Structure 1
Amino acid sequence: MRQENASKEESPATAVTEDGFLGGQLLLRQPRSGHRAGHDAVLLAAATPAQPGDRVVDLGSGVGAAGLAVARRVGGIHLVLVEIDPTLAELARNNAGANAITADVMVLDVEAEASAFAVAGLGPDSADVVLMNPPFNDPTRHRASPDSVRERAHVATATTLESWIHVARRILKSNGQLAMIWRADGIAEVLAALGRGFGGVEILPVHAEAASPAIRILVRATKGGRAPTRLHAALLLNDASGVPNKWVQEILAGKEGLPLARR
């Protein structure tokens, strides 16, 4: 579902569309151009192990797609959306209200000092679950976008992954859960970064089709966990003939979760 909401008076920076997620259970306004939420956000939400009563923090939330999708699936969570861009944060705030979901929205750089997080109410050991979809494109292989917001949302720096995981480790309670999505060819970087303070790592590879290498990995890890690393069976977006996987369609429609979400 998609409805254009851009009038002739709107500039490209303010033009938005209203898009349906989770089979229409979640309606989100987002920029018509630049960084836009899609399947990655829904898959991340479906892999997030939240339970009623949890304080769930979505780092780099954009317009709130992943965090709000978690809240739609799991009632009774205390949702916090953290976004650096004020325009996207305002859209996230409005999206939460329009979908009757309670959420605290904070305009904050994920790589800000710990003191800035503490002032915002995200001090050490203050979250039960953190989910995140950090910028993950390799700058050496990614053509720079003229849209600065899109560029910041998609392209990693040399410190992005380690910095974001460090923040998650700091704000999570002991045994708190981290859920994230990253490009599949960066799995070694993810495991190295999680090696400092996380255990019980579970990885679910995502393939466009069975004959192709994985394009994404969904990852769950436990702060202070000691369980061995576990590799799940791959999630195939399409079958051998290119037909969308029926189970994936159920996940995208909000009717099914992923194994990583089970606690």
Structure 2
Amino acid sequence: MIDVVTDITEDAFLGGQLQLKQKRSGHRAGHDAILLAAATEAHAGDRVVDLGAGIGTAGLALARRVAGIRLCLVEINPELAELARANAAANAIAAEAIVLDVTADAQAFAANDLPPDSVDAVLMNPPFNDPARHRGSPDQARQTAHVATDETLHAWVHAARRILRSNGALTLIWRADGIGDVLAALSRGFGSLAILPVHGEAGRPAIRVLVRAVKGGRAPTRLLSGLVLNDESRVPKKEVSDILEGRAALPLAEP
């Protein structure tokens, strides 16, 4: 069991609408997860899977915005899955949290009630730091959450493609300089892409991309106007504050 006295903090997200417990050390939930949730389209009754959910931040933030989704939080780390389960209960959000490696085979997914063609929407924030340029953390959980191998993105996209229904949508966040890898991973089985660059400051290169892709989609790819997080004083812009505090969603979440 986790030592709840010394190793856990409780933090507010979505302007206090979501209270989440997370480990003090290792990977900590932040803006990426909230932006991912705000970019995900879902509707009441949809079965939604958050792959690599950690403590559940993105999936639970989506469930707070869209009531009535059937949410499954998939996490490889048993301690984090336990926290995700507890966070869902503490916030009165109906969700299941399962311990499962995203790269596991179809039989493992089916054994956890995630057979092929069974899900309406998938969201994911895979490990995306390049190991050649990123100094790995001595904390193994943090290392797993942050650093990608050459196969990480393809394996995660493959898992999403397998469980999604036809015309189901995958929404992901990735580092902006890896957009080529994202497009390559989505080239098999996905189409109707919408891409939203995320810039830390105006006039600076994008630092993230949010991408929505439809299984079997055939519409042309759309490149949306970039989202700028901070103004000239490095203060979050109002539209960004509205998103981070749960008062607005991103264009990718619109039908």
The TM-score bracket by the shorter chain reads: over 0.9
Cα distance between partner residues in 1 of 2:182 and 2:52: 17
Match for 2:27 among 6, 22, 35? Answer: 35
For 1:171-186, what aligned pairs fall within 5 Å after superposition? 171-186=163-178
Cα distance between partner residues in 1 of 2:136 and 2:30: 20
Match for 2:16 among 24, 45, 48? Answer: 24
Cα distance between partner residues in 1 of 2:235 and 2:140: 35
Match for 2:153 among 158, 161, 167? Answer: 161
Q: Summarize deviations over 1:205-228 as a string: whole Å, max 9, x none.
A: 000001211000000010000000
Match for 1:115 among 104, 107, 121? Answer: 107
Identical counterparts, % of pairs = 68
Contact kept? 1:43, 1:252, Cα under 8 Å:
yes
Once the two structures are TM-superposed, the CA of residue 243 in structure 1 deviates from its matched residue by: 2.5
Once the two structures are TM-superposed, the CA of residue 6 in structure 1 deviates from its matched residue by: 5.9
- 2:184 equivalent to 1:195: no
Structure-2 residue corresponding to 1:130 = 122
Cα distance between partner residues in 2 of 1:241 and 1:32: 29
Structure-2 residue corresponding to 1:216 = 208
Q: Summarize deviations over 1:50-75 as a string: whole Å, max 9, x none.
A: 11110000000000000000000000
- 2:232 equivalent to 1:240: yes
Cα distance between partner residues in 2 of 1:91 and 1:230: 37
Structure-2 residue corresponding to 1:151 = 143
Once the two structures are TM-superposed, the CA of residue 164 in structure 1 deviates from its matched residue by: 0.2
Cα distance between partner residues in 1 of 2:85 and 2:100: 14
Contact kept? 1:211, 1:240, Cα under 8 Å:
no
Q: Summarize deviations over 1:155-209 as a string: whole Å, max 9, x none.
A: 0011000000000000000000100000000001101110100000000000000
Cα distance between partner residues in 2 of 1:100 and 1:239: 35
Cα distance between partner residues in 1 of 2:134 and 2:23: 22
Match for 1:96 among 85, 88, 99? Answer: 88
SS of 1:241 mapped into structure 2 = coil
Once the two structures are TM-superposed, the CA of residue 144 in structure 1 deviates from its matched residue by: 1.2
Pairwise CA RMSD: 0.9
Cα distance between partner residues in 1 of 2:104 and 2:159: 9
Cα distance between partner residues in 2 of 1:88 and 1:242: 32
Structure-2 residue corresponding to 1:67 = 59
Tell me the number of residue pairs that the alignment of Structure 1 and Structure 2 aligns: 253
Cα distance between partner residues in 1 of 2:129 and 2:210: 15
SS of 1:208 mapped into structure 2 = strand
Cα distance between partner residues in 2 of 1:158 and 1:222: 23
Structure-2 residue corresponding to 1:77 = 69
Q: Which stretches in structure 1 are left out of the alignment for 5+ residues?
A: none
Structure-2 residue corresponding to 1:253 = 245
Instruction: With the length of structure 2 as denominator, give the TM-score of the two structures.
Output: 0.98
Instruction: With the length of structure 1 as denominator, give the TM-score of the two structures.
Output: 0.95
Cα distance between partner residues in 1 of 2:40 and 2:79: 26
Cα distance between partner residues in 1 of 2:154 and 2:102: 11
Cα distance between partner residues in 2 of 1:169 and 1:119: 17
Contact kept? 1:125, 1:174, Cα under 8 Å:
yes
